[in-house]
């Protein structure tokens, strides 16, 4: 049965921008009372002016502040009588993305604090209301929850955590007659996306590892429409755009293949090292400061420059330019499955793997592998129809 939106009270975190703002507007247009939260008071004030004050409550709330979240739930209950739906949406990302080894520790933990713990605190503060009113919780994760988060680990780890939180919550709310669902947006055209797309190396990494349809951003309004539909249906999962659904469904099969390809791909390795070098250039020497090595330590220096140099030397020495150029660069990484494409082009699977990042010194073009069980030739029988020797033989 449809869960009608009209006259419900919906609390949204991160409503001052992007997906949160678009969702607030869409819900209000459907007749809901909306409780808008965010950190920028001036944007909240402008939103109240735009949406009208009688069905809107706006409060400045930081999702890392549990008391502020309790206060907004209390204020919403006083003003509208309770909270029916909560959308735990506020989120940030490390700017610019970088590796686990190079990221500033405070930045990494800040992302977990907002993206995972902020969602947990929001949900926890609103839960008594949701249970009492048999309402619905939307937890904003991301397709990053089920993809490889290399270069953006804090964000991906938080979103994977949000997904698990949402799945557990749905099971636990069932006896109370309430529900929870996880929202998985793909790339969405909001200020947050500029963090990833604003950096040339990250742009190249995304371009290299994701096929074009997946990395094409959609509008926040499209995510908002899908979220409204998801609330009406009390959906367990809202994946938008839908082209990410096969990846979610097949993740157990597809992800190991993609992870393996990423791990071995020379260009991905080079881009990751470039990201690390950029972080070093910005002044974060968390792992790259040679002075941090203990004198006499047997460890090799791990500076980005050192690793980048040795890696590019290796790549130059081992790479097979003919095949790399011809077969590898033009194909998006996620589409390079080892057992089909190489064979069509006359390469064995072993050859393909060598050409994709490991030792290719013995690389020689080999003949295509012939299928050992080729069917016997067909011949015509007397009765003028096609048959095989085995069938026609007595
Ligand atoms: N854009 C994408 O491609 C994409 C893809 C998948 C998932 N998502 C997720 O969707 C959600 C919304 O992102 P968006 O794309 O709409 O980004 P956005 O336009 O940058 O909006 C982020 C919102 O989060 C709020 N926020 C950030 N830190 C906060 C904090 N500590 N306390 C309270 N509010 C805080 C911001 O409020 P103030 O500006 O007022 O601080 C802002 O309203 C995030 O959880 C994000 O991870 C986005």
φ, ψ at 237 (rounded to 5°): -135, 135
114 lines ligand 1 (CB under 6 A): yes
Residue 393 within a domain: no
Question: Measured between alpha carbons, how far is 367 from 370 in angstroms, rounded to an integer?
Answer: 9
In a domain, 21, yes or no: yes
Instruction: State the pLDDT at residue 282.
Output: 74
Residue with tokens 């009608």: 4
Residue closest via CA to ligand 1's atom 19 equals 18
- Do the Cβ atoms of 61 and 89 come closer than 8 Å? no
pLDDT of residue 283: 66
CA of residue 194 to ligand 1 center, whole Å: 12
Question: Per residue in 114-150, pLDDT tens?
Answer: 999 999 999 999 999 999 999 999 999 999 999 999 9
**How high is the pLDDT of residue 278?**
87
> Could you report the per-residue pLDDT of 17-41, keeping only the tens digit for each?
999 999 999 999 999 999 999 999 9
Q: Which domain holds residue 271?
A: 256-291+300-355
Distance between Cα 199 and ligand 1 center (Å): 19
Q: Is residue 76 part of a domain?
A: yes
Ligand 1 pocket member 146 (CB < 6 A): no
**In a shared domain, residues 246 and 351:** no
Residues 167, 91 share a domain? yes
Could you give the dihedral angle defined by the CA atoms of residues 331, 333, 336 and 338, in that order, rounded to the nearest 10 degrees? 130
Task: Name the residue with the closest Cα to ligand 1, atom 21.
Answer: 17
- If asked whether residues 269 and 237 sit together in one domain, one would say no
Higher-confidence residue of 337 and 355: namely: 355
Rg, Å, the chain Cα set = 27
């Amino acid at each position: 049965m449809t869960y009608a939106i009209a006259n419900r009270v919906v609390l949204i975190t991160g409503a001052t921008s992007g997906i949160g703002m678009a969702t607030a507007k869409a819900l209000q247009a459907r007749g809901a009372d909306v409780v808008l939260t965010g950190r920028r008071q001036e944007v909240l004030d402008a939103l109240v002016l735009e949406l009208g004050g009688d069905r809107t409550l706006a409060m400045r709330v930081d999702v890392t502040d549990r008391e502020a979240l309790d206060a907004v739930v209390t204020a919403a209950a006083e003003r509208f009588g309770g909270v029916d739906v909560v959308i735990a949406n506020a989120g940030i990302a490390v700017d610019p993305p970088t590796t686990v080894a190079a990221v500033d520790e405070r930045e990494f933990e800040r992302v977990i604090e907002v993206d995972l713990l902020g969602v947990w605190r929001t949900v926890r503060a609103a839960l008594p209301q949701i249970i009492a009113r048999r309402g619905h919780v939307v937890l904003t994760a991301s397709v990053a929850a089920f993809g490889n988060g290399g270069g953006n680990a804090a964000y991906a780890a938080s979103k994977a955590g949000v997904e698990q939180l949402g799945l557990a919550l749905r099971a636990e709310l069932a006896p109370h007659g309430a529900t929870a669902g996880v929202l998985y947006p793909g790339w969405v055209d909001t200020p947050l996306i500029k963090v990833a797309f604003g950096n040339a190396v990250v742009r190249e990494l995304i371009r290299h590892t994701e096929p074009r349809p997946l990395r094409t951003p959609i509008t926040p309004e499209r995510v908002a429409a899908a979220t409204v539909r998801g609330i009406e249906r009390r959906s367990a999962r809202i994946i938008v755009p839908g082209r990410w659904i096969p990846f979610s469904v097949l993740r157990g099969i597809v992800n190991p293949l993609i992870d393996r390809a990423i791990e071995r791909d020379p260009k991905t390795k080079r881009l990751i090292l470039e990201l690390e070098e950029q972080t070093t250039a910005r002044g974060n020497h968390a792992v790259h400061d040679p002075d941090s090595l203990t004198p006499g330590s047997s460890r090799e220096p791990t500076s980005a420059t050192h690793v980048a140099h040795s890696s590019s030397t290796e790549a130059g020495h081992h790479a097979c330019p003919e095949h790399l150029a011809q077969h590898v660069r033009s194909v998006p990484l996620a589409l390079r499955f080892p057992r089909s494409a190489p064979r069509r082009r006359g390469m064995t699977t072993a050859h393909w793997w060598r050409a994709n990042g490991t030792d290719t010194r013995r690389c020689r073009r080999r003949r295509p592998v012939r299928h050992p069980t080729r069917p016997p030739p067909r011949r015509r029988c007397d009765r003028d129809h096609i048959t095989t020797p085995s069938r026609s033989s007595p």
